[in-house]
Structure 1
């Protein structure tokens, strides 16, 4: 039986695009959902989103995957894994929920939001390399530097 972690999220997919997520309400209610609502919701797996990213930009989607990591700097980022550990997307918590709880780790998480693109170009890679070089002497989780999206 699958365990779902219920969260309201804002999110990002960091590969060739970014996923911006709005709230997702999967509170496990026992109420019956009208058939019309069930038919309108298609839950995509991480692999589906990665494969269709260019075709679903700007659309509201719902995606589900296993949380494999929670960022230790404030818990505002998680990673969802697809069919293997090379197929992941990054999800960032919105201001509404603040951070992900430790119970999120190793559980199936479902988020709903709009897919937006962020291109990884030479300038992005140079900024990222500079950030990594600046943090090389600091141990992750012990300073105020944190992840750039959490500052």
Structure 2
């Protein structure tokens, strides 16, 4: 009788242990879905908030001021009553912006990106200028100096490009840091909106 009782207790204990294991396994297999918050930002305070939002998703609205004619890889949006100007680039799904968007009011959702300009970067740029390389790529774009800090394209004058480099170098010196940061938005989706709707995203 005692032997039977011991066997029964051992069997019950084994069942209990198996049940707990199943519960633990099922719990560990549950997927945790995290919904990332989309932060509303206005163009007027984008530069102020951008550093803390790098890598995060934001939504902002404005008027398309300019779209790069070389493949539609850059778009700049502005805001009435503000000197702010934000550079927007398309993700791989959008690929390029249509030039017909110029002058339209749009709402953009995207991820804030940072481009750092330091002395090594400027020296590389100088070497490209002196080697008569194509100046079609971006170098140090941003709202600094009116947003005109990009490379000048195929027809760029060496003197103009070198002046841009020197201006950036001066800004680094005055900043007290070893680099400058320029922020832009990698657009994941956008839509054309009515004027009053575009003005509603103001934080």
Q: Which runs of 4+ in 1 moved over 4 A?
A: 129-133
Structure 1 unaligned residues grouped into runs of 5+: 1-39, 141-151
Give the conservation status (yes or no) of the 8 Å contact 2:62–2:107: yes
Matched residues in 2 for 1:110 and 1:137: separation? 29
Task: Report the TM-score when normalising by structure 1.
Answer: 0.53
Structure 2 unaligned residues grouped into runs of 5+: 1-36, 136-151, 157-203
Structure 1 position 116, deviation (Å): 3.0
Structure 1 position 81, deviation (Å): 2.2
Matched, 1:138 2:154: yes
**Deviations 1:8-51, CA, capped at 9 Å, x for gaps:** xxxxxxxxxxxxxxxxxxxxxxxxxxxxxxxx765322122211
Matched, 1:103 2:100: yes
Matched residues in 1 for 2:111 and 2:155: separation? 34
Q: Which has the higher contact order (CA 8 A, sep 6+)?
A: 1
Give the conservation status (yes or no) of the 8 Å contact 2:38–2:57: no
- Closer/same/farther in 2, CA of residues 63 and 137 from structure 1, 3 Å limit: closer
Root mean square deviation, CA, Å: 2.7
Number of aligned residue pairs: give it. Answer: 99
Of Structure 1 and Structure 2, the greater helix share is in 2
Task: Report the TM-score when normalising by structure 2.
Answer: 0.41
Structure 1 position 74, deviation (Å): 0.8
Give the conservation status (yes or no) of the 8 Å contact 1:77–1:91: yes
- Closer/same/farther in 2, CA of residues 49 and 125 from structure 1, 3 Å limit: same
Structure 1 position 130, deviation (Å): 4.5
Matched, 1:53 2:50: yes
Which is greater in Rg? 2
